[in-house]
Structure 1
Amino acid sequence: MLTREELLNAPESEYMNADQLAFFKALLEQLRQDTMDSIEAAKQTLANPPEHNDEADRAAYEEESRMALRIVDRERKLLPKIDAALRRIATGEFGYCLESGEPIGIPRLLARPTAELCTEVKELSERRESVFRERE
């Protein structure tokens, strides 16, 4: 299995070869498992609230619960993105921008293995969203 260092130092001609795809598949599968474990742990914590006799303790617990629910919601939204990235590995589309077809790049994929867009297209998309929000 390749290391992150080997990935970063690989020549462009080896971009998304079988070893690199295997690395990202394993990374995404581990991310999926970690995400599912985190969601399950949060569910268990929320399902078994401690008894609070003190208002301050109850308020602190409620705030922690709200934060846990937000985290669970974010992680729940991550699962379909992980599954989509795994499908792109299976079809040979992983690592390439869905809009431009250009390589997304190893550093970006290491930072966000579910990335679907290259940096340039993503930045353009974010600028468009910003302009659209300003007009509203």
Structure 2
Amino acid sequence: MPHTISEEALLAMTASQYMNASQREFFRKRLLALALECEQHLGNARNNLQTPAQADPLDAAVEEETCRHQLRFMARQQALLGKIRGALRRLQNGDYGYCKISGDPIGLPRLLARPTTEYCAEVKARLEQNERHYAHQRTG
């Protein structure tokens, strides 16, 4: 079992060491910690939703708005949890760290910033550009 390394040690590795056992273990632990954090946030949000309704109309309105915010937060956390689980599956399959479209390495700095990413920066920029183009066509 490879030992856990620091971000600095990770970034100091050569390109030929990309996605070696130490790097995979580093990201596995990071993704598992993110998943646990998401699950805790979801549990806290669920508990917050279980507070009793207020009899006062103004308090009830505030409660309703808070509830809407909690539900949006929970939806974002659920989506992130799905991405984390997908990243863990890619890690297990040996696809983690490589662009889903081009197959090129995503790169350690990008993975450190966004461990759930599926695309290298160039492909992601192209996808976002296409998205903006099509959104502009729909609204224009």
Gaps of at least 5 residues in structure 1 are none
Q: Give matches, 1:61-80, under 5 Å.
A: 61-80=63-82
Corresponding residue for 1:110? 112
Structure number with higher relative contact order (C-alpha < 8 Å, ≥ 6 residues apart)? 1
Corresponding residue for 2:34? 31
Stretches (4+) displaced over 4 A:
none
**Aligned-residue offset at 1:54:** 6.7
Corresponding residue for 2:50? 47
Root-mean-square deviation (CA, aligned residues, Å) is 1.5
Q: Is the 8 A contact 2:53 2:60 kept in 1?
A: no
- For residue 16 of structure 1, the aligned residue among 6, 16, 19 is 19
Q: TM (normalized to structure 2)?
A: 0.89
Whole-angstrom CA distance in 2 between matches of 1:49 and 1:13 = 58
**Aligned-residue offset at 1:60:** 3.0
Whole-angstrom CA distance in 1 between matches of 2:61 and 2:113 = 36
Whole-angstrom CA distance in 2 between matches of 1:52 and 1:30 = 40
Whole-angstrom CA distance in 2 between matches of 1:29 and 1:99 = 25
Q: Is the 8 A contact 2:105 2:120 kept in 1?
A: yes
Q: TM (normalized to structure 1)?
A: 0.91
78-87 vs 124-133, which moves further: 78-87
**Aligned-residue offset at 1:84:** 1.2
Corresponding residue for 2:123? 121
Quick one: percent identity of the two aligned structures?
41
Q: Which amino acid aligns with 1:16?
A: M
**Aligned-residue offset at 1:50:** 6.1
Gaps of at least 5 residues in structure 2 are none
Whole-angstrom CA distance in 2 between matches of 1:27 and 1:115 = 13
Q: Secondary structure at the match of 1:114?
A: coil
Matched length: 135
Q: Secondary structure at the match of 2:89?
A: helix
**Aligned-residue offset at 1:92:** 0.9
Whole-angstrom CA distance in 1 between matches of 2:55 and 2:97 = 50
Corresponding residue for 1:7? 10
Corresponding residue for 1:83? 85
Q: Secondary structure at the match of 2:97?
A: coil
